[in-house]
Structure 1
């Protein structure tokens, strides 16, 4: 049975992520211990709320360096995807983990679209990747966010919210989903299953 470690650092929707993984047959370890992170086969970084608070929690728990040096499969979810980048404009400016180049900025929606972006949007796949294996192009995923990652070489799939929203990103062994795969029905379950099958 696949084991996956989920960072329980006080800034993520841990319960729903855990239940989604357990439904797929995974053994889930919740931790905020840097030593356990170092030993993990694969790691999920959830995130809900503000980037500054999330980074302060990671610093307080001595997890920043543990995540930065983690070389096995890593998946950032929602705010967790944003934390993979270098900086965020949120809260007047926040230094992030720096695992993927670029700056997270406030979402600029199309006319008549509210912020935050909350609800179902289609995923337009632009590059093949094992994380998206078996996920149909234009599948729906569930988003809740008011900031957006830069659209660049790391982007695997986009949503459209009056402009491109990088919805799935990858740099090396680090992936991110701007949406909540644990709340995204069959497409989200397949993405989580694919992550569980990544070679550690």
Structure 2
């Protein structure tokens, strides 16, 4: 089985590679279209800013490549947000795989919750083969200032200031806002489930 991690200017690639190694899988990091197309599984991670990441993807036509893929694809964090329709972060049109917008958290009145959300938060409403044997209310590790709204493709929910999509799925496209590679046993199980799809 060939697992490819898409290389671009916003990838949090090393931690994903280590997480795959712990599962006995060797990931290949590449931006080569033929190598990506030939993969059995594709992981699209991301940390950073939406508009510069989308610009980089478009310049290399990686956005068109990603949306055309037919094998299982997993977006992580910014990768998930770029798979949505639009991001409020610097007014950025994204890939539109998921028909939801990405919005910025607004400070709640009591100011008890800091933005960005950094740390552990539980996920609920788990509805995907990606979450097989992952308990409801499992805690995952999040780092983000922007969130994907709830929509028809939402397959897990989290709450921070507001209820939002912790995970999305449509056809062969899967995406999570949290970092499964940093989310202990349950995060590893999600990656393992994805690799078994």
> TM-score band (shorter)?
over 0.9
Cα distance, 1:109 vs. partner?
5.1
Cα distance in 2 for partners of 1:3, 1:194 equals 15
- Which runs of 5 or more residues in structure 2 are unaligned? none
Superimposed CA distance per residue, residues 102-152 of structure 1 (whole angstroms, 9 cap, x where no aligned partner)? 21111235431011011000111242x110001011110000000111201
8 Å contact kept, 2:15–2:181:
yes
1:98 aligned partner: 96
Residue pair 1:109, 1:163 contacting (<8 A) in 2 also: no
Unaligned 5+ residue runs, structure 1?
Answer: none
Structure 2: distance between partners of 1:194 and 1:26: 13
- Equivalent residue of 1:100, what SS? coil
Q: Distance in 1 between matches of 2:170 and 2:61?
A: 23
RMSD across aligned positions (CA): 1.2
Ranges of 4+ aligned residues in structure 1 off by more than 2 Å: 108-111
| Residues 54-63 or 11-20, more deviating | 54-63
**TM-score, normalising length: structure 1:** 0.94
Give 2:16's aligned residue: 17
2:108 matched to 1:115?
Answer: no
TM-score normalised by the chain length of structure 2: 0.95
Cα distance in 1, alignment partners of residues 2 and 33 from structure 2: 17
Distance 2:157 2:106 in 1: 15
Q: Is the 8 A contact 1:11 1:57 kept in 2?
A: no
Equivalent residue, structure 2, for 1:59: 58
Q: Distance in 1 between the 2:185 and 2:107 partners?
A: 27
Please give the per-residue CA displacement for 1:28-53, whole angstroms capped at 9, x wherever unaligned: 11101112111111111111011111
